Amino acid sequence: MAKTGKKLQEAAKLIDRTKLYDANEAIELAKKASTVNFDATVEVAFRLGIDTRKNDQQIRGAVVLPNGTGKTQSVLVFAKGDKVKEAEAAGADFVGDAEYIQKIQQGWFDFDVIVATPDMMGEVGKIGRVLGPKGLMPNPKTGTVTFDVAKAVQEIKAGKVEYRADKTGIIHAPIGKVSFDDSKLAENLAAIHDVVLKAKPSAAKGTYIKSLNVTTTMGPAVKVDPLKVVVK
């Protein structure tokens, strides 16, 4: 059994594990309980009452957080023709086609997100086995397969976050940094909470959001009342 560090033990004392906090209280506590000496990421975790084995209960999408994530993401765009110039003008870090497919095949991954035009997906599919396990495969549901490459790049740079329920029905997503004002984190949490609510599958029965937690990098989790995710 792994031992819990003294810092984490002390931080955990700040939190009542039996209580459901409102979003604003949870964010304040999670920040106070952060134990690392760098600007930790603040993350939200939804445990959903869905059966991900069924196609009609799989949840995946993206949301542009109103206050960004605190991290500038590097974007690779697979495009050709006029779309290359559009992507470059929008701020894409890398734009091309065959040469980048070859680089990835050789082990290059100096980027965070891939955007591809639909006519490039046949080529991108050739490296799907490499991109898929890393969560990098472009997908229309997250807006990363599109001819509007400029909009896609701009949204990613502005703080677009992809979310996806894992096999156990849990969604993890960053909502900012400990250095963010509490109000900005609360607004980001409310934004992703809203899209997750709207993504509820019609086939899902019973309680949809079973639990909601806010945590920081290597910090203790704070339970949030799903009915009290409001911005003050």
Average pLDDT over residues 84-89: 96
**pTM beyond 0.75, yes or no:** yes
The pLDDT of residue 125 is above 50: yes
DSSP structural state of residue 131: H
> For the stretch 106-139, what's the b/e string if a residue is b when 16 or more beta carbons lie within 10 angstroms of its beta carbon?
eeeeebebbbbbeebbeebeebeeebeeeebbbb
Sorting pLDDT into bands at 50, 70 and 90, what band is 1?
very low
Instruction: Kindly report, residue by residue over 20-60, the tens digit of the pLDDT.
Output: 999 999 999 999 988 888 999 999 999 999 999 998 998 98
Average pLDDT over residues 84-107: 95
Neighbour-count burial of 168, counting CB atoms closer than 10 A to its CB (0-12 exposed, 13-18 middle, 19+ buried): exposed
Which residues are CB-neighbours of 169 under 8 A, at least 6 positions away? 47, 48, 49, 50, 51, 52
Determine the pLDDT at residue 5.
63
Lowest-pLDDT range, 7-11, 121-125, 172-176? 7-11
Average pLDDT over residues 129-157: 94
Q: Are 216 and 175 spatial neighbours (Cβ–Cβ below 8 Å)?
A: no
**CA angle, corner 155, sides to 151 and 156, nearest 5?**
120
The mean of the pLDDT values for the chain is: 91
Tokens for 72? Answer: 């500038």
Which residues are CB-neighbours of 179 under 8 A, at least 6 positions away? 39, 70
Sorting pLDDT into bands at 50, 70 and 90, what band is 14?
confident
The string of DSSP letters for 53-93 reads TSGGG--EEEEE-TT--S-PPPEEEE--THHHHHHHHHT-S
